[in-house]
Amino acid sequence: MNLKIMRQTNATIDSEIIVSWLSDKSKSSRITYGSAVKQFLTFTSKTLAEVRVEDIQQWVRSFELRNYSPYTIKVKICTIKSLLTYCYEVGYLPTNVGKRVKPPNPKQGLSQRILDNREVEKLISATSPGRDCPKGTALGERNRLLFSLIYACGLRVSEICALTWSDLTPRGDGGQALIYGKGQKSRIVLIPEGLWQRLMELPRSEKTDAVFYSYRHKPLDRTWVHKLIKKAAEKAGVNSNASSHWLRHSHATHALEGGCDLHLLQQSLGHADLGTTQKYLHARPDQGSSQHLSNNLW
């Protein structure tokens, strides 16, 4: 028996309910999710109330035909499913057609998204200032510190873009940063002594409190960081798919390999679920059951 959902929203048009759905998400998530929803509604040329299962399936098929990765397709499907579920639960829509659409389950490719120590070093060393660097910044120093801090502290790109000088505090010979992560949760990460000292030497802007800013004195956004890393990866000769999240993955894996406690890593990365952190235990296992089989067959 279908129970009628009590209406819990005053929204009367799609744009209002979308704003409501996005309201409790981080700034970077609002941009990403909002873009996906706009893309979907443009593709269907329908209102949310008119959307049917086939519309979502055809949208997904359009990405498959353009060879989008299963992971990208999964993110887009989950975004639309989240919006439709929200609309249904607050009574804006009478049914949830997104419930019938299953996102793909791409193979766990975490091990392919981890740089070894030498590759991380090459990537960080391959930075160049670019036209967006503020005047007075030493050749490539801002970008080197940007990449170094992402790797050293395991930060998300949204977290590094939002970092301000007010978030930084000295701690012993090094320092610490107050990080605002997913779900509006905050955590403290430690910054190694050498990196902290170099960070303190960066020029500061009178127009923004952002640690990493452009020549226009605006905080760097994720698009700029993405471009900078792609350019450095190409110059360094490492995997062209490398991204800021690869540095975060590498941080987690190298920390575990160095003996870091799993719960400490969970806290440092800002994972709500320990299971998410545990994936790094299996990303590059030192041992496997195959090592215990007879090798007479090969």
Positions annotated as catalytic residues are 156, 182, 245, 248, 271, 280
| Nearest CA among 277, 248, 263 for reference residue 113 | 248
Alpha helices (H) in 51-192, listed in sequence order: 53-65, 70-89, 117-125, 141-153, 157-162
**Listing from the earlier edge strand, what are the strands of the sheet with 174-180?**
168-171, 174-180, 186-191
Q: Is 234 within 8 Å of 169 (Cβ atoms)?
A: no
Strands (E), the chain: 168-171, 174-180, 186-191
Q: Is 233 within 8 Å of 240 (Cβ atoms)?
A: yes
Identify the three-state secondary structure at position 178.
strand
Q: What are the phi and psi torsion angles at 82 (to 5°)?
A: -65, -45
Q: Tell me, what DSSP letter sits at residue 179?
A: E
Q: Tell me, what DSSP letter sits at residue 49?
A: G
Alpha helices (H) in the chain, listed in sequence order: 14-22, 27-44, 53-65, 70-89, 117-125, 141-153, 157-162, 193-200, 222-236, 244-257, 262-269, 274-278
Query: What tokens appear for 166 in the block?
Result: 């007010």
Q: Tell me, what DSSP letter sits at residue 103?
A: P
CB-CB neighbours of 237 under 10 Å: 11
